[in-house]
A and B are shown apart, each in its own frame.
Chain A
Amino acid sequence: MLKLSTSVACGLAAGIVVVASLTAAGLGDESHAGGGVSTLDATQGAQGSDFVSASIDKGDKCAGQVDVDGIGALASMSSARVWMPSSKDASMESIDAMVMCGSSPTLYFTSGISVAFESGWKLDDPKQRWVDMADQWGGTTSTLLGEPAYVIDLGDKSDDPSVTQVEGAEPTSEVLVVVDDTLIRVIGPSIAADRLVAVVASIDTEAPVRG
């Protein structure tokens, strides 16, 4: 037993029209979709991907975005620690948006770089973790903020035969490092990894944002 409760208010009348037509059909017939055209050439195989991404509302930065007013408020909304970088590409002066993306406080900067923080990342062997990550996806390991880190530059690839580049995706660099149990994830579409490394290096881990 669980509780459904939302407060969305919208056009119930038209919604009922749709549901009414469905009610007559119950939960539907699973063996037939109602079509019937079967003159297709099915020899070419399916193309593309079986992956359905979480939808991002127009104007939002991420799925399930919650806008936040101020860095302090952002820090208070998650168990993840939040730090403000102070680099040329990412600083308080170049903030484009501060939002919650799912459970992650995320900073978007005008440079196109984003910095997200995710809790629950207590790793027994962080260096091995990033070695495994590089084996899986490509990229290299490094040391940032005194901690093992993972760096993948634009276009890096792994030798894993089950891994492919997403068709049409913008080449993107990424840097990952864990401080205490918080993952710092820096992403830069069409931005070289060294600029992301500079963003991470500018973080003062002794000075987290107070929520």
Chain B
Amino acid sequence: MLRGLTFCSFAILLALALAGCGARSQLPAASPASAPEYPVPPGLPDYAFRSALAVKGYSIAFAEQELLSRLPCYCGCGQDSKYKHLRDCFINDQGEFQSHGANCEVCLEEARDAAAWKVEGLSEKEIRARIDAEYEGRGKPTDTPPVD
């Protein structure tokens, strides 16, 4: 009885591990492993140094403001009309850094993925489609016009 239960538990562990691995490979659009290196922008506030991903996210946002302003943010900030696109999570219309992105994994991962897909040669429209496929459902998106 005891041996049977133990083997069942091992089997559950293994099955869940394998199922988990399988589930990762079934994501709608593969997340790129890493984004290219962007220089750390001058005057970056301390809060942007919370994590490696945060520094990377703000560096991307600074260098790719045009691209990020064409992409919706799916973290849930769409519930506030102040946020119109992904760039707003990092830099506002006056060019000032915003702290929202530093505390939000979804914003940071979206910025990282968008930059990596751009380096892969994808057009803005294709990047937008991938972002929609990958992040839809995470939260209410910003009301960002579609890319023509």
To the question of whether A and B form a pair in one complex, the answer is no
Binding site for B on A (CB under 8 A): none
Binding site for A on B (CB under 8 A): none
